[in-house]
Amino acid sequence: MAELGSLLHLLAGGCGGTAGAILTCPLEVVKTRLQSSQLTLRPLCLSEMQMSAMSVKLMNSTPPSPGVLRLLKDILEKEGMRSLFRGLGPNLVGVAPSRAIYFATYSGAKERLNDVLLPESKKVHMLSAACAGITCATLTNPIWLVKTRMQLEARVKGEMANNAFQCAVHVYRTEGLRGFYRGVTASYAGVSETIIHFVIYESLKQKLRSSRHSISPPLTLSPNSYDFFGLMGAAAVSKTCASCIAYPHEVIRTRLREEGSRYRSFIQTLQLVVHEEGPLALYRGLLAHLIRQIPNAAIMMATYELIVHLASSTL
């Protein structure tokens, strides 16, 4: 039964992650471009003289950041619709095993920690989320590095861009195996976002369960659909809080994954970005991240909970 339960969490996590990734891919591309140090050069297609002049200005001020809609329009006009789905291949390859590993590890760690600590306490949720986040980041970082490289690769409309395999081969030839783990330290720092997310989510979920008997659901919704939308709301709220608090690690991770990057370590990148572009640069792309991540987290968590509930009720 324990093995069957682990397989169930693997399946539920994989399905939830895949559903969210497919629906929010264009915003993922925009967010990555906004986080990059190259965003003012590639999307706006500046001339060499303009780029030279801007490079001098960047040393003393925060670079201008195009808005989400402006960048979406720019990518569509200059690179075509397909560029909004750059990196979808690695995303689809990686999101199912990534979410499956995450949820299976989280569920397994929580089950074991409940035996030695106060069951379902915040400490259990935090340690389980940390364990799951570190495991997932270590095993899947090569996939996300390839995805980031593909999303940062601007191309002229109609021009063939490298696919995931070509990108992976290029990384291996130029940087070796270590190249696939660039940005992993930022991913470890990003575990704080996961911890905050799950602590708030589990707390809201417990409140939903306790209030379900005292607050009757709307007449138009069945109890199951009421639970489903409640979980989506809990996931959205918890992810919003976590993303706003821990967002800078996303910018640092993208910078570390840039090809030929002068960014070498987490602390060095943090200091360099703040020194050259100001503290606000650590929040570039936050709007696109929230627009993408909130529905993505809601879809993923609700799908996960629904599959677990349906499968558990039939076993």
Tell me: the pLDDT tens digits for 217-265? 443 444 455 567 787 788 888 888 998 999 999 999 999 999 887 899 9
Specify the pLDDT at position 60.
46
Residues 109-120: tens digit of each pLDDT? 999 999 999 988
pLDDT at 55 over 50: no
Confidence check: pLDDT of 165 > 60: yes
- Residue of 131, 144, 141 whose CA lies nearest to 102: 131
Q: Are 13 and 103 in contact (CB under 8 A)?
A: yes
Residue 47 pLDDT exceeds 60: no
pLDDT for residue 223 = 45
In the structure, what pLDDT confidence band is assigned to residue 65 with cuts at 50, 70 and 90? low
Average pLDDT over residues 167-184: 94
- Residue 31: is its pLDDT beyond 80? yes
> Is the per-residue pLDDT at 71 higher than 80?
yes
Judged against a pLDDT cut of 60, whether residue 48 lies above it is answered with no
Q: What is the share, in percent, of the chain residues with pLDDT greater than 70?
A: 81
Please indicate whether residue 216 or residue 138 has the higher confidence score (pLDDT).
138
**CATH of region 2-314:** 1.50.40.10
pLDDT higher for 299 or 315?
Answer: 299
How do the domains of the chain map onto residue ranges? 2-314
The residue ranking higher by pLDDT, 40 or 166, is: 166
The residue that leads in pLDDT, 167 or 3, is 167
* Residue 86 confidence (pLDDT) above 70: yes
Tell me: pLDDT of 288 over 80. Answer: yes
In this prediction, residues 275-279 reach a mean pLDDT of 93
Rounded Cα distance between 107 and 136, Å, is 13
